[in-house]
Structure 1
């Protein structure tokens, strides 16, 4: 139901350039897909190998829809990570983030990713999880508080006395940065532009300016109404144009 609702909204907003298809798209054709399992695992790897354009829909970075008719959905191009749009409109969904905490807590909050994250692109979250605590311990003596995906504890509780957050791809890093808690993440994380990506920096994590990053994220999440109106389709096309321009410049 939620997949059909999203895709029908995008079809309506495409102005006749998109078509809702149940199952795999025609061979060689660009596509939009929701989620990371089942159909995604079938159609994304061949598209990556062939250089076919594809977009991925997931829950939004801020006020996520989580399958509901209201809220936001993130849409990323040729991957699971949002682009960093340096000239994004800062008046769209402005949000006053907490100042970076200068006096923080004692523990490292380790937020584990879902085991299916990135599997369609060859990522192995189980392998990352098996070694991450040991790798953290090589750079700090701070205790580690483990937070598994789907944890029922309020995130605010775990962040309240966190010195830093460590995670792979989880949007927990976005929530942490917004709350003023620095994070150490993998480069694929949506918060990576304002986080450390080297565990050697765990005791002195980066705490940069965040407004440009926030505007960039907000430019890549949309409501169903924004999909139906064509706003999301135009934004998706704009990211593709930027991507194609960078590839042309690299050549």
Structure 2
């Protein structure tokens, strides 16, 4: 990795040399580093690229999960500031990870945040959805499949579901409660950083208008990108997504 700072929160995909800017990528609900690593590898020629590993998954399976957005964002922001070593950062979030990336951006000095990039997730506070995280397993996992987080073929694998369901439920509680509170409050605090929102043209889980609604969450420049592909752009189209993000940030 491009920094000698060790952290259980971040897994590097960069070369040995220290780059001028660090990128931190937040995966979708219930996911770990594996889900976001293809994109990090594609961006590693431009940034010190790090996948964010949240508690309750992969090597952190035994760590207590986080279900309160403010608490999680506080912890990640503090870890990230130490890890970045004073360099400017790009925050990227995919699907539910977009909401976490946004909240982390709110906690950082805008001077340090070169850009916030989000994909495949409605702007927080832009729509109301009743929480599903407390539903019984069949109903809850049906919603997870509908949201594009879980292939339906995995529903028959009870052993695997026993492993991944706790992190999924925790992330759903984290994001659903947070976004419902924002919607009911009727106001969201924008960040003063350039923001890029990405939508897959074949993504049937979220309307393009909900992606465009991220424009209201920044006082900086905003750009929306529409790419070929469905919901899971970081895994299915990492080359195209990386090229689009790199170009958008270069143009400012």
Same fold (TM over 0.5): no
Higher RCO (C-alpha 8 Å, min separation 6): 1
TM-score (norm: length of structure 1): 0.29
The structure that is helix-richer by fraction is 2
Which of structures 1 and 2 has the bigger CA Rg?
1
